[in-house]
């Protein structure tokens, strides 16, 4: 265990994860619309030696136009701008397998990966909303299983395309006029149920071989998909016991795909309110809670649970919600919210307050030492390989984490003081990527 290192990702969203962040005096709401804000956040994360920064994404406004502060920039372009202003921090973009083509998306990620010298990661999503479907010719979201079927084939194509160019394919021999060795540039020739893709990809491999694969769905299909492909998983876990169960479940599935536990990092989300005293931290959290607009929160909650709550009394418990099998959208979010409400017998008003910080991710108010203690506890007790840090307000909430919590984790020997690699794959302690054709050649050569 001595060599095990904590992994920290900064999940960046607008001016903060708390839904009322933009109304708080610590925040300048105009920054959500300014690319320079996100570039500055990337620099802060790099100053804290974090593994990576990450953007969620959706392919539609809404459901509520009047509050949409989040999806102002497309993540791959925004992370490319951050790449140009940083040198080490990893860059993880969300993109959909349901509404992209493998060739164009694999290429965009390969391009970001080369531009950043090997720092790209892809958070793979299947896009669970009807609003997104309506932007791509569909009446409603495809069934959960169908989306994962397409996602699986999409990944197989993307992985083949990223291996198109062996690392030593490019010769650039000006005297002979040979630029690349054609024997080391491979077609994919994929023919499947959803895609036919010839290849090769027209982007050579990056210093980390291919982008790191990240996943965030905790449904059964999501966990199976993660066990097969993901190298990091973002997850929402409320308690240590639940975190331990999820961690053991996911790690236990890896062997079935010929993978080792250390081939996948489990990163639960944490929304930290940090202040010099515990009382001050709790008071800060309460300030944000008090700014929540109930009508907006009710609409968000309605979307998560698949039931209209907009006229439901705030001080009553939740009404009956549909069974999980009726949910075609985000099943893991649904389950999390339902379990929270039922497990703690919350009224709707209480539930809204609990969800305000991070939409179901764990909120924790405390001193820097208390936050570090909590991170260490989960890390050492089998619930986490690190954390998906979700600052409730930005940039201040990330700055205070980097300036006060990270040094404690460093002093305890849990977290790096300096980057010892340059690629995201290295930061996460993953094995180097080995090109599939180089493997074949080595095997042929060995006899």
Site for a copy of itself, residues 3 to 42, rule: CB under 8 A: 20, 22-24, 29-30, 33, 35, 39
Interaction pattern, residues 229-248, with a copy of itself; x per rule: CB under 8 A: --------------------
* Minimum distance of a copy of itself from residue 208's CB (angstroms): 15
Pick from 104, 320, 323, 443: which binds a copy of itself (CB under 8 A)? 104
Query: CB of 336 within 8 A of CB of 362?
Result: no
Q: Give just the sign of the alpha carbon dihedral 172, 178, 179, 184.
A: negative
Q: Which member of 26, 47, 69, 419 binds a copy of itself (CB under 8 A)?
A: 69
Between 3 and 172, whose beta carbon lies closer to a copy of itself? Answer: 172
Among residues 336 and 353, whose Cβ is nearest to a copy of itself? 353
Shortest CB 76 distance to a copy of itself, Å:
6
Least spacing, CB of residue 407 vs a copy of itself, in Å: 29
Query: Can residue 438 be called a binding residue for a copy of itself (CB under 8 A)?
Result: no
Binders in 260-299 for a copy of itself, by CB under 8 A: 291, 293, 296
Alpha-carbon distances, residue 308 vs 65, 300, 350, 372, 442 (angstroms): 18, 10, 18, 39, 59
Q: How far is the CB of 176 from a copy of itself (least distance, A)?
A: 9
Q: Which is nearer to a copy of itself, 29 or 306 (CB)?
A: 29
Nearer of residues 165 and 247 to a copy of itself, judged by Cβ:
165
**∠ CA(380), CA(382), CA(385), 5° rounding?**
75
Distances (CA, A) of 447 to 267, 434, 442, 444: 42, 19, 9, 5
- The pattern of x and - marking residues 175 through 214 that bind a copy of itself according to CB under 8 A reads x-xxxxxx--x---------xxxxxxxxxx----------
Our CA dihedral for 240, 243, 248, 249, rounded to 10 degrees, sits at 140
SS3 category, 10: strand
Count the site residues for a copy of itself by CB under 8 A.
Answer: 73
Alpha-carbon distance of 413 to 416, in angstroms, equals 8
Q: What is the C-alpha to C-alpha distance for residues 396 and 22, in angstroms, rounded to an integer?
A: 12
Judged by DSSP in three states, 417 sits in coil
Closest CB to a copy of itself among 69 and 244? 69
Q: Whose Cβ is closer to a copy of itself: residue 93's or residue 406's?
A: 93
Among 1, 137, 258, 320, binds a copy of itself (CB under 8 A): 137
Stretch that binds a copy of itself, among 99-107, 148-156, 272-280, 344-352 (CB under 8 A): 99-107
| DSSP code of residue 141 | P
Write the DSSP symbol of residue 293.
-
| Angle (deg, nearest 10), helices 144-162 and 220-229 | 10
Rounded least distance, CB 279 to a copy of itself, Å: 26
CB nearer to a copy of itself: pick between 135 and 228 = 135
Binding letters toward a copy of itself, positions 106-125, x by CB under 8 A:
-xx-xxx-xx----------
- Binds a copy of itself by CB under 8 A, chosen from 61, 143, 369, 442: 61
In the list 26, 43, 63, 81, the residue contacting a copy of itself (rule: CB under 8 A) is 81
Retrieve residue 175's tokens: 């005297």
Does 310 bind a copy of itself (CB under 8 A)? Our answer is no
Applying CB under 8 A, which of residues 43, 47, 85, 373 lies at the interface with a copy of itself?
85
First to last CA, the chain: 38
Give the whole-angstrom CA distance, residue 376 versus residue 372: 6
Q: Does 170 bind a copy of itself (CB under 8 A)?
A: yes
Q: Which is nearer to a copy of itself, 186 or 427 (CB)?
A: 186
Residue 336, token pair as written in the block: 């999390």
Quote the crossing angle between the two packed helices 294-305 and 348-356, to the nearest 10°: 90
Q: Which is nearer to a copy of itself, 22 or 122 (CB)?
A: 22
Give exposure, 124-142, as e/b (b: 16+ Cβ within 10 Å).
bbbbbbebbbeeeeeeebb
Please identify, using beta-carbon distances, which residue of 382 and 396 lies nearer to a copy of itself: 396
Residue 409 Cα distances to 313, 366, 379, 386, 412, angstroms: 44, 15, 11, 11, 5
Q: Beta partners for 178?
A: 173
Does residue 101 bind a copy of itself (CB under 8 A)?
Answer: yes
Enumerate residues 149-168 that contact a copy of itself by CB under 8 A. 164
Local structure of 276: helix, strand or coil: coil
Q: Which residues touch 239 (CB under 8 Å, ≥6 apart)?
A: none
Minimum Å distance from CB 70 to a copy of itself?
Answer: 8
């Amino acid at each position: 265990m001595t060599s095990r290192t904590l992994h920290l990702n900064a999940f960046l969203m607008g001016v903060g994860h708390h839904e009322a962040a933009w109304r708080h005096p610590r925040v300048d709401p105009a920054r959500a619309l300014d690319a320079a804000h996100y570039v500055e956040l990337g620099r802060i994360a790099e100053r804290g030696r974090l593994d990576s920064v990450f953007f969620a994404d959706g392919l539609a406004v809404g459901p509520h136009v009047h509050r949409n502060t989040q999806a102002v920039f497309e993540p791959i372009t925004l992370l490319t701008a951050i790449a140009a202003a940083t040198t080490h921090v990893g860059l993880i973009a969300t993109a959909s397998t349901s509404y992209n083509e493998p060739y164009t998306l694999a290429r965009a990620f390969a391009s970001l990966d080369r531009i950043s010298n090997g720092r790209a990661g892809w958070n793979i999503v299947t896009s669970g909303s009807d609003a997104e479907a309506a932007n791509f010719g569909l009446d409603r979201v495809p069934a959960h299983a169908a989306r994962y079927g397409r996602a699986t084939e999409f990944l197989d194509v993307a992985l083949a395309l990223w291996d198109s160019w062996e690392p030593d394919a490019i010769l650039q021999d000006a005297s002979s006029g040979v630029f690349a060795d054609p024997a080391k540039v491979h077609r994919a020739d994929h023919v499947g149920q959803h895609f036919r893709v010839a290849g090769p990809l027209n982007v050579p491999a990056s210093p980390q071989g291919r982008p790191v694969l990240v996943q965030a769905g905790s449904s059964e299909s999501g966990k199976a998909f993660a066990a097969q492909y993901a190298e990091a998983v973002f997850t929402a876990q409320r308690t240590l016991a639940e975190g331990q169960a999820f961690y053991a479940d996911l790690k236990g599935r890896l062997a079935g795909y010929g993978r080792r536990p250390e081939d996948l990092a489990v990163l639960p989300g944490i929304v930290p309110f940090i202040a010099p005293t515990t009382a001050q931290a709790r008071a800060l959290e309460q300030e944000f809670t008090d700014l929540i607009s109930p009508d907006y929160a009710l609409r968000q909650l309605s979307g998560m649970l698949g039931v209209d709550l907009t006229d439901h009394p705030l001080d009553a418990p939740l009404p009956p919600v549909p069974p999980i099998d009726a949910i075609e959208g985000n099943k893991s979010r649904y389950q999390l919210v339902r379990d929270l409400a039922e497990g703690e017998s919350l009224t709707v008003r209480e539930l809204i307050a609990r969800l305000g910080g991070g939409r179901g991710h764990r909120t924790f108010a405390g001193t820097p030492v208390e936050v570090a203690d909590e991170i260490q506890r989960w890390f050492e007790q089998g619930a986490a390989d690190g954390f998906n840090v979700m600052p409730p307000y930005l940039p201040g909430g990330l700055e205070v984490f980097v300036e006060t919590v990270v040094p404690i984790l460093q002093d305890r020997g849990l977290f790096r003081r300096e980057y010892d690699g340059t690629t995201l794959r290295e930061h996460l302690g993953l094995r180097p990527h080995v090109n599939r054709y180089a493997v074949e050649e080595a095997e042929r050569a060995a006899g």
